[in-house]
């Protein structure tokens, strides 16, 4: 540990001590303490760490983000502000957090099936502590994961979703994290715990947005743990549109049972530095996972996506499609790993990663990896980096489109291929509209 990180470590240790008075079940302090010790021992990763080779977190590591929940004052935001900030629908079940604090007045999730439990983490710790104890920190382990340990030590609130066997939640559960003007300097550590029991169905939309500009950096360090039971189906959308001053680290850890389905879509257009980790374990036969994503960055933004699919059971399928569009002097990183265990015969894995460079200052580093220990498998990965096809541009121009129009249309089409896979109509249309506006009018984010 360097002296600079020693200072931040001391700062966090003080903040941690200050938090300890805040109630909760008896096992919680021990879990947090363990995570804190792990966080201290690991320190922030450096670029010497293979998993962080292309992403420097120095700006995050060199300061202490305020952990205490920042008060935004009484109801500075109206439901209309939420609707403007986050793509959603009034019919969805909605939980809104402002600077990490739950805002009951902006939330609405009463219309859920009676058996399905959706609560804040704070409430769940009071009402069903055994349930939380059984699942919290079981998938998202702190070992070797600084940011997960960091979250476990400091997570103040979040969402707990429990869908009992066979229950189908029709409308998406929308979790909106808003950073407002008071977020400057804050460290926000939201936690999401999802248990979808056998044969249940659930759609989750997580939005990370901002209203106005905090004018200074804040850190969002989110962790999600999702258990997908046998035959269950979970769709998970993570929409990251943070302030471009912000730092965002999001880790999603999934474990799937047999015949289950997990579809993830990660959209990222915000944050100065963002890192999205999606780790899924296919632990039961015939499970399917689909990881798609799109990132659109500009200026000096840095977006890093890391996926890790572990095939731990036979006959599972994984599909991955990630695309990036980079402008300005932005830097994109994609690191996708597929691991096939010796017992995971009949694995069918496919991973695709394409990056489009719109400016000559933009940079992409990509590292698609296959680690295969079983023989009866079919695994492929493909990666391309390039710019718009000159021939396609020429064709468009020959048909009467202007150069700018042709470029905008082709860029949009590049993004649309992956946006089309979004199954929630409002979300797909919302993101398509954003992408279209961005490329045709040069609008940001």
Residues near another protein, by CB under 8 A:
50, 54, 342, 345, 355, 357-360, 362-387
Q: Write down the least CB distance from residue 377 to another protein, Å.
A: 6
Closest to another protein by CB, 66 or 367:
367
Are the C-beta atoms of residues 56 and 50 closer than 8 Å to each other? no
Tokens 């959209």 -> residue: 267
Give the chain's length. 445
Shortest reach from residue 370's CB to another protein, in Å: 4
- Name the minimum Å distance from CB 347 to another protein: 10
Q: How far apart are CA 157 and CA 182, in angstroms?
A: 18
Residue 386 or 402: the one with the smaller Cβ distance to another protein is 386
Closest approach of another protein to the CB of residue 285, in Å: 17
List, in sequence order, every residue forming a beta bridge with 95; answer none if it has no partner: 175
Residue from 117, 119, 114 nearest 102 by CA: 119
Question: Could you tell me the smallest distance in angstroms from the CB atom of residue 361 to another protein?
Answer: 8
Residue 258 vs 337, nearer CB to another protein: 337
Considering the complex, state which of residue 316 and residue 431 has its C-beta at the smaller distance from another protein: 316
98 or 325: whose CB is closer to another protein? 325
* Structure tokens given for 262: 């997990």
In angstroms, how far is CA 176 from the centroid of its own chain?
13
Query: Which CA distances in Å does 133 have to 120, 121, 220, 240, 321?
Result: 15, 11, 24, 29, 35
Q: How far is the CB of 355 from another protein (least distance, A)?
A: 7
Q: Indicate the residue among 137 and 368 with the shorter CB distance to another protein.
A: 368
Closer to another protein at the Cβ: 5 or 345? 345
Q: What angle do CA 2, 243, 10 make, to 5 degrees?
A: 25
- Of 17 and 369, which has the nearer Cβ to another protein? 369
Widest distance between CA atoms in the chain: 71
For the record, the structure tokens of 423 come out as 């199954």
Q: How far apart are the first and last CA of the chain?
A: 37
Q: Which residue lies nearer to another protein by CB, 22 or 47? A: 47
Question: Smallest distance, Å, CB 379 to another protein?
Answer: 4
Q: What angle in degrees, to the nearest 10, is found between the helix axes of 425-441 and 403-419?
A: 160
* Nearer residue to another protein within complex by CB, 286 or 345: 345
CB count, 10 Å around CB of 439?
Answer: 23
Q: Which of 117, 126, 124, 92 is CA-nearest to residue 106?
A: 92
Beta carbon of residue 11, minimum distance to another protein (angstroms, whole number): 33
CA proximity to 393, closest of 403, 382, 381, 383: 403
Which of 295-328 are b and which e, b meaning 16 or more Cβ less than 10 Å from the residue's Cβ? Answer: bbbbeebbbbbbbbbbbbbbbbbbbbbbbbbbbe
| Helix, strand, or coil (residue 427) | helix
What is the nearest approach in angstroms of another protein to the Cβ of residue 149?
24
Q: How far is the CB of 349 from another protein (least distance, A)?
A: 9
Least distance (Å) between residue 416 CB and another protein: 21
β-strand pairing of 348-357 with 173-179:
unpaired
Phi and psi dihedrals of 178, rounded to 5? Answer: -110, 135
Compare residues 173 and 357 and give the one whose CB is closer to another protein: 357
Closest-CA residue to 70 (of 185, 206, 219): 185
In three-state form (DSSP H/G/I as H, E/B as E, the rest C), the secondary structure along 375-423 is CCCEEEEEEEEECCCHHHHHHHHHCCCCHHHHHHHHHHHHHHHHHCCCC
């Amino acid at each position: 540990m360097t002296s600079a990180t020693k200072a931040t470590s001391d700062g966090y240790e003080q903040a941690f001590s200050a938090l300890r008075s805040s109630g909760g079940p008896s096992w919680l302090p021990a879990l947090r303490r363990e995570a804190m010790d792990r966080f201290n021992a690991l320190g922030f990763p450096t670029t010497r760490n293979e998993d962080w080779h292309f992403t420097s977190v120095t700006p995050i590591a060199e300061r202490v983000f305020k952990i205490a929940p920042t008060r935004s004052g009484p109801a500075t935001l109206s439901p209309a502000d939420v609707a403007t900030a986050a793509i959603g629908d009034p019919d969805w079940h909605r939980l809104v957090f402002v600077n990490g604090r739950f805002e009951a007045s902006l939330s609405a999730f009463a219309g859920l099936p009676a058996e399905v439990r959706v609560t804040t983490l704070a409430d769940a710790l009071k009402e069903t502590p055994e349930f939380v104890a059984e699942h919290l920190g079981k998938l998202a382990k702190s070992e070797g994961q600084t940011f997960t340990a960091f979250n476990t030590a400091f997570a103040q609130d979040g969402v707990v979703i429990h869908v009992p066997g066979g229950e189908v939640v029709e409308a998406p559960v929308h979790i909106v994290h808003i950073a407002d003007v008071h977020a400057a300097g804050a460290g926000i550590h939201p936690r999401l715990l999802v248990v979808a029991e056998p044969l249940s169905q659930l759609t989750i939309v997580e939005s990370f947005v901002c209203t106005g500009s905090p004018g200074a950096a804040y850190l969002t360090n989110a962790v999600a743990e999702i258990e997908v039971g046998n035959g269950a189906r979970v769709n998970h959308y993570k929409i990251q549109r943070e302030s471009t001053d912000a730092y965002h680290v999001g880790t999603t850890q999934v474990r799937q049972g047999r015949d289950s389905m997990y579809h993830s879509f990660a959209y990222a257009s915000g944050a100065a530095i963002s890192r999205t980790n999606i780790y899924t374990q296919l632990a039961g036969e015939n499970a399917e996972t689909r990881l798609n994503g799109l990132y659109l960055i500009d200026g000096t933004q840095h977006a890093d996506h890391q996926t890790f699919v572990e095939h731990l059971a036979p006959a599972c399928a994984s599909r991955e499609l990630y695309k990036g569009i980079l402008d300005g002097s932005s830097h994109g990183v994609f690191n996708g790993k597929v691991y096939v265990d010796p017992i995971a015969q009949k694995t069918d894995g496919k991973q695709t990663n394409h990056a489009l460079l719109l400016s000559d200052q933009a940079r992409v580093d990509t590292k698609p990896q296959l680690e295969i220990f079983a023989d009866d498998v079919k695994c492929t990965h493909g990666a391309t980096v390039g710019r718009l096809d000159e021939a396609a541009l020429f064709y468009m121009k020959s048909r009467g489109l202007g150069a700018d129009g042709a470029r905008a249309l082709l860029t949009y089409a590049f993004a649309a291929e992956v946006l089309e896979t979004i199954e929630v109509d409002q979300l797909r249309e919302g993101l398509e509209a954003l992408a279209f506006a961005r490329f045709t009018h040069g609008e940001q984010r």
